[in-house]
Amino acid sequence: MTILVIAEHDNASIKGATLNTVTAAQAIGGDIHVLVAGAGAQGAADAAAKIAGVSKVLLADSAAYGHQLAENLGLLIAELGKGYSHVLAPATTNGKNYLPRAAALLDVAQISEISKVVSADTFERPIYAGNAIATVQSSDSIKVITVRPTAFDAAAATGGSAAVEAVGAAHDAGKSSFVGEELAKSDRPELAGAKIVVSGGRGMGNGDNFKILYSLADKLGAAVGASRAAVDAGFVPNDMQVGQTGKVVAPQLYVAVGISGAIQHLAGMKDSKVIVAINKDEEAPIFSVADYGLVGDLFDAVPAIEKLV
Amino acid sequence: MKVLVAVKRVVDYNVKVRVKADKTGVELANVKMALNPFCEIAVEEAVRLKEKGVATEIVVVTVGATNAQEQLRTALALGADRAILVEADGAEPLAVAKLLKAIADQEQPGLIIVGKQAIDDDNNQTGQMLAALGGYGQGTFASVVKVEGGKAQVTREVDGGLQTVELALPAVVTTDLRLNEPRYASLPNIMKAKKKPLDIKSPADFGVDVSPRLKTLKVEPPAERKAGIKVKTVEELVEKLKNEAKVI
Ligand SMILES: Cc1cc2nc3c(=O)[nH]c(=O)nc-3n(C[C@H](O)[C@H](O)[C@H](O)COP(=O)(O)OP(=O)(O)OC[C@H]3O[C@@H](n4cnc5c(N)ncnc54)[C@H](O)[C@@H]3O)c2cc1C
Ligand SMILES: Nc1ncnc2c1ncn2[C@@H]1O[C@H](COP(=O)(O)O)[C@@H](O)[C@H]1O
């Protein structure tokens, strides 16, 4: 059995989600190869070669892969995937974009966002916003899988010394082109890997009020997240949304501020180690998952917490 | 330009589903069913394209059991012109994508709009698979769609923020939450929808094999969190976080 892991990277370095995906591959068992598809991605490939447990890195370096366009990556992964028993990608927006495309080209199912490996062909995955866990068995010859990063520990980023092999194939489907991007810039840790996450909801009232969360977050070294309602209302950008259809986080500490705790929000944070809820409504459902609940006005509580930590 | 929209009948998003005692699935008896929220957004986007004069006809398709006609009628009431039900219960995304591809070959739409995710199985793959099978470009997780000059510009919600891509038509768009706010169907439109055409087909009509690739061995409830406590003051909270939970 040889497993192909598709790396999440920014050409220069490997993103954390790749390391969790390698751990999922280790749980399946077998040789692990990592594909770095990008443009000017030697740096990322070198970093992938150092991941503990990886035996080979494939570097597909072409302008066609520069912006991770799914049309092009789908063709590449479908071509390379034929030689593997499993193809794994992290369940990031990138992985979710290209991997089903590769699966369809290989004429196999995709098993989305697995949270556990039971055996080489059987996996657990959350369904219905995490209100049920399904155990599914695949009968396909190649198992194509996205991995929920928070459900697996990160593999060690160093200690390996895999060979990097260049892959010639430059697939340009000619169906899509990159126009531009607006990436959020922040000095705070990324939501996905942060040890502490402070999230605000509709109760924040407006975008300006998020200042008190940023200030607390900076004191704690935390990332800042949000509920859908806060994003929809324009308080904060979309990449901060935590939930069933946003980001899934599982930090050591999650602080939900002015968030009611709809099932769609809980789906994105209820695997956090410790949950704190601050809400003025003592009946708010968020308290049912909170280890520590504080009933009160967030505009008093948040600055007061900041003074004490 | 014709627009094809794929929709799915799912448990209403307000329902907190419960796992069946025999672990074969979730309890669906007497549970409120609805149009998947992302599909509602897909229908709305198509209707807006028609209102702008970009789309000329909206064909809505579902793959499901007989009762999925209810959701097709909802889509017709929201503004779709015609509906197709492919009768197959529980088809997996790959099979649905193959059926949609076959329908697209017949209908020749300029744009295909689907939801980013069905909130029952949370798969997030059907649109991408359809795009692959049809050789179309894909604009997934769309928050803005502009159709102009034979191309679509799609702004996508990605992990880092927003990305804009340009796609040759026909293309597949999958909707994210902020693409639009769906309207409610008016009573007259609900009445009119009853008379709109609804074709019923079978997978065999398209020569598509819908046999499953995955077998669900069991469905279980998630691990319960142990009950927490309410703290009275901010001081108590911070003390607990420092000394009991040891997370700060
Ligand atoms: C298809 C679909 C997908 C969805 N996906 C997501 C998702 O990924 N993530 C997500 O979060 N939601 C998602 N939702 C939306 C979800 O159903 C809820 O609407 C949303 O989570 C509510 O956000 P909220 O808790 O911030 O707002 P509300 O429910 O309005 O809660 C605001 C809370 O703030 C409290 N509050 C107000 N003022 C104060 C104050 N001064 N001090 C203290 N507390 C205060 C109130 O008591 C209340 O509990 C989705 C919905 C659908 C239909
Ligand atoms: N059975 C189905 N019939 C029609 N469209 C579907 C079906 N299943 C999924 N889709 C479409 O694909 C989208 C994504 O679904 P999924 O890939 O299952 O998460 C949905 O929002 C629908 O637009």
CA of B96 to the centre of ligand 2 (A): 7
> Max Cα separation, chain A?
60
Side-chain-facing half-sphere of A203: CA atoms under 13 Å: 25
Which ipTM score applies to this complex? 0.97
Task: Please report the pLDDT score of residue B242 as a whole number.
Answer: 97
Task: Please report the pLDDT score of residue A184 as a whole number.
Answer: 87
CA of A16 to the centre of ligand 1 (A): 28
Task: Please report the pLDDT score of residue B227 as a whole number.
Answer: 85
The alpha carbon of residue A83 is apart from the nearest alpha carbon of chain B, in Å, by: 20
Nearest to B66 by CA among B207, B189, B201, B194: B201
| Residue-wise burial string across B63-75, b where 16 or more C-beta atoms lie within 10 A, e elsewhere | bbeeebbebbbbb
Paired tokens of B68: 């999925």
Q: Identify the residue whose tokens are 């099932």.
A: A263
Mutate to test the interface with A, among B18, B19, B125 (most CBs of A within 10 A): B125
Paired tokens of A236: 């904060």
Q: Which ligand is nearest to the CA of B9?
A: 2
Is A265 near ligand 1, meaning CB less than 6 Å away? yes
pLDDT in 10s for each residue of chain A, 309 residues: 999 999 999 999 999 999 999 999 999 999 999 999 999 999 999 999 999 999 999 999 999 999 999 999 999 999 999 999 999 999 999 999 999 999 999 999 999 999 999 999 999 999 999 999 999 999 999 999 999 999 999 999 999 999 999 998 789 999 999 999 999 888 999 998 999 999 999 999 999 999 999 999 999 999 999 999 999 999 999 999 999 999 999 999 999 999 999 999 999 999 999 999 999 999 999 999 999 999 999 999 999 999 999
Q: How confident is the model at residue B151 (pLDDT cuts 50, 70, 90)?
A: very high
Torsion of CA A66, A69, A71, A77, to 10 degrees: 70
Mean pLDDT in residue range B135-149: 97
Q: Which ligand is nearest to the CA of B126?
A: 2
Looking at the complex, does the CB of residue B21 fall below 8 Å from at least one CB of chain A? Answer: no
Is A243 near ligand 1, meaning CB less than 6 Å away? yes
Nearest-CA residue of chain B relative to A288?
B227
Q: Is A241 left (phi over 0), alpha (psi -120 to 50) or beta?
A: beta
Tell me which residue in B97, B124, B216 faces A136 most closely, judged by beta carbons: B216
Rg (CA), chain B: 21
Report CB contact under 8 Å: A110, B235.
no
What are the chain A neighbours of B216 within 8 Å (beta carbons)?
134-136
Task: Please report the pLDDT score of residue A168 as a whole number.
Answer: 85
The CA distance from B126 to A129, in Å, is 18
Task: Please report the pLDDT score of residue B226 as a whole number.
Answer: 87
Task: Please report the pLDDT score of residue A186 as a whole number.
Answer: 87
Q: What is the per-residue pLDDT across B1-52, written as a single tens digit (0 to 9) for each?
A: 999 999 999 999 999 999 999 999 999 999 999 999 999 999 999 999 999 9
Q: What is the DSSP string of B85-127?
A: EEE-TT--HHHHHHHHHHHHHHH--SEEEEES--TTT----HH
Q: State yes or no: pLDDT of B243 exceeds 90.
A: yes
What are the chain B neighbours of A184 within 8 Å (beta carbons)?
160-161
Alpha-carbon torsion A20, B139, A83, A138, what sign? positive
DSSP E strand stretches across chain A: 2-6, 31-38, 56-61, 86-90, 110-114, 116-119, 122-127, 132-138, 143-147, 163-166, 176-183, 196-200, 223-226, 253-257, 274-279, 292-295
Task: Please report the pLDDT score of residue B134 as a whole number.
Answer: 98
The CA distance from A202 to B62, in Å, is 35
Torsion of CA B68, B220, B123, B15, to 10 degrees: 50
Alpha-carbon torsion A268, A272, A277, A282, what sign? positive
Task: Please report the pLDDT score of residue B97 as a whole number.
Answer: 98
Task: Please report the pLDDT score of residue A7 as a whole number.
Answer: 98
Tell me the C-alpha to C-alpha distance, in Å, between residue B101 and each of A119, A228, A269, B28, B141: 33, 33, 36, 29, 20
The set of residues, in sequence order, having a beta carbon less than 8 Å from that of B144 and lying 6+ positions away, is: B153, B154, B155, B164, B179
